[in-house]
Structure 1
Amino acid sequence: MTDGPQIEVTQPGHVRRTRVRVRYAETDQMGFAYYGNYLTWFEVARVEWLRQGGWTYRDMEQEGTSLPVIEAHCEYRQPARYDDELEIAARGVLLSPVRIRFDYDVVRVADNSVAATGHTVHAGMDARGKPCRLPERVREMLS
């Protein structure tokens, strides 16, 4: 098992971090954070990644582009429990003019242990539901 975050800051502005606290309702009968919540936390980090870059999902959608998830993966390393504070690092990587991948590390703040790692892949989609190029502002955040 690896200690500490896996995402390396390779270029300024690519990695952005946000924190969440595990709520009681997010735990299962074993007292662990329910596995499906990690994808929600990935979304929180992704939305904040855009916001910290000076743009929001709402802005992008109002301009006619959305980023549906077309692939998701999560590897669970250490369980998170009720009231754990988690820091989620998100890094965007441009895969093509129409696709972006976000890599995530979910780290327990108290002991700096990695609770989970994963990624999501998104495709640009216009208001008609057709593939489209990622907005220029998103591509600029990755360069």
Structure 2
Amino acid sequence: MMTYSGYLRQPHYYETDQMGIIHHSNYIRWFEEARVDWLAFLDLPYYKIEEAGIIIPVLAVSCEYKEMIRYEDAVKISVKIEQYTGTRLDFSYQISHQKTGNLLTTGTSKHCFLAKDSNRLLQLRRSHPEVHQKFLETFEAQNEASDD
């Protein structure tokens, strides 16, 4: 299984405050961009998930700022599944400076799977076994890689 190498991001000027530092509200958007990119990497682009009748709402999100990110700082956002149950999917994020590798920000997001037409909780193992299998295999591969 190929490993996701991360989402590369060059900050935009409009994302900064008057000091040229990325405004704190943008980090949550960056997590979403990275998560959507990660899903596309798994060949589960969000439009395919929605076409299958699945929505993945955010239940909780957190962000811890370790160092400031400035307009000129290109970053890499790493995405990892922290927990997968078939009804829940929790991620962790690490934002690092592309050149130095310094860890700048960490975060998490927690999600569940709902039926798009009814907003009822889905158990992917039953409702969408092929999607379930992809998430499960990725989660297990990440855990094996971190054990090495």
- Which TM bucket (shorter chain)? 0.7 to 0.9
Contact 1:91 1:102 in 2 (8 A): yes
Unpaired stretches in structure 1, ≥5 consecutive residues: 1-11
How many aligned residue pairs are there? 132
Structure 1-normalised TM-score? Answer: 0.84
Looking at secondary structure, tell me which structure has more helix per residue.
2
Unpaired stretches in structure 2, ≥5 consecutive residues: 125-130, 141-148
Note the C-alpha offset of 1:116. 0.4
Distance of aligned partners of 1:13 and 1:104 in 2 relative to their CA distance in 1, 3 Å threshold: farther
**Partner residue of 1:66?**
55
**Partner residue of 1:4?**
none
Percent identity at matched positions?
28
**Partner residue of 1:138?**
135
Contact 2:84 2:139 in 1 (8 A): no
Bigger RCO of structures 1 and 2 (CA < 8 A, at least 6 apart): 1
Contact 1:31 1:82 in 2 (8 A): yes
Looking at secondary structure, tell me which structure has more strand per residue.
1
Rounded to whole Å, the distance in 2 between the matches of 1:14 and 1:102 is 16
Q: Describe the SS at the equivalent of 2:39.
A: helix
Q: Describe the SS at the equivalent of 2:106.
A: strand
Which protein has the larger Cα radius of gyration, Structure 1 or Structure 2? 2
Q: Describe the SS at the equivalent of 2:109.
A: strand
